Amino acid sequence: MKINKKRNAFLIPLLAVIFNLNSTNIDSLNVPEGFEISIFAKNLESPRQIAETNNGFVIVGSKNGKNIFALFDSDKDGEAETKILIAEGLRNPTGVAVHKDNLYFSEIDKIWVIKNIDQWITSHNLGDLPEKEIYINNLPSETWHGYKYLGFGPDDNLYIPIGVPCNICLEPQTKDKRFAAIHKYQNGQLVTVASGVRNSVGFDWHPENKKLYFSDNGRDWLGDNTPSCELNVVEKEGSFFGYPYKHAKNIIDPEFGSLIPNIDKEFIDPIAELGPHVAPLGITFYNKTVFPEKYRNSLFIALHGSWNKYNGKSGYKVIFVKLDSKGDYVFQEDFITGWLENEQDWGRPVSPFIMSDGSMLISDDKYDAIYRVKYKS
């Protein structure tokens, strides 16, 4: 794919500044034998969710920035040389998704769409921005657990999570059932897919059974070692996953648990506990053939890392979760480590994404980078 260099010539000289690659930290990251990790792009604005257009442009959201960018590796060397501004002046535009050549991206309280994104990128004039349209408006405006993660399901509907604006509470979701849930936008309205979900910032569909798997962040201030964060699967649309009454598989909330007499029979347990305070964010199934067979139809999950543990930080890594042929949990193991060294963290992985070429990108909103993992076959 060629970009109109005459119209976009201003982008190329910026490469030395925008992507000033430093190998000091990247060398401390550990991956399994046969894999290698490199920096795809650096000096970004707290990058979060990643998407890819049909023509190979990488779209990246931002937690603390106000812009959406497209990145492009024109010479296919594994490093992005081009950075194109797509939208600006946004409020925490964390979530991005591409569906049928249209780009969808989030703010806290709304979702935008830009149609025919590839066509615009390859033909726009210097200084132009594409026309964006409101796709969903009037979502809750609370920023606490309000960062969006977007994905289109096998049913062609857009799915979005809405976390609770608190650590542990009941009132917000009692007054507004959009809180503490994952929804799909169907026929112009939100339909609840999973409720009792404290704060999910990652989900994906199994390539074969088409079920929705999602991460959920456990509550704080019950101690360093409890409760565990979760990996869940939606077997039946509308299922309730426990928050705020029950956490992980067996932790009854001390404040709200007594409100439900048959608590063990009411809620869906996670299929896997990921550890307390590890903060699981983006998850993705590996659905390509480049990585070894072991990784096929199983999950990569970014553990963003703890922020309030007194004795020993946890998370700060990407893990692999093996599922069997039925989609049931088998085991979990480390896939990328090294962001945490002697209790000092220099990076925080956010969102893994499988590219069309079979490699994996991973965003890091502390190191302001995107990494690329490939298998050396």
Residue 177 to residue 237: CA distance in whole angstroms? 15
Q: Which two tokens stand for residue 144?
A: 């606490």
Q: Are 189 and 232 in contact (CB under 8 A)?
A: no
Q: Are 82 and 74 in contact (CB under 8 A)?
A: yes
How much is the pLDDT for 8? 45
Express each pLDDT in 201-254 by its tens digit: 999 999 999 999 999 999 998 999 999 999 999 999 999 999 999 999 999 999
DSSP assignment of 234-265: ESSTTEE--TTTEETTTEE-TTTGGG-TTHHH
The domain limits of the chain are 5-375
Express each pLDDT in 256-272 by its tens digit: 999 986 765 678 999 99
- Confirm whether pTM is higher than 0.85: yes
In the predicted structure, residue 2 carries a pLDDT above the cut 60: no
Query: Can you name the CATH fold of 5-375?
Result: Neuraminidase (2.120.10)
Express each pLDDT in 157-186 by its tens digit: 999 999 999 999 999 999 999 999 999 999
Residue 230 to residue 287: CA distance in whole angstroms? 22
Express each pLDDT in 3-59 by its tens digit: 554 444 334 333 433 344 455 689 999 999 999 999 999 999 999 999 999 999 999
Residue 248 CA to its chain's centroid (Å): 21
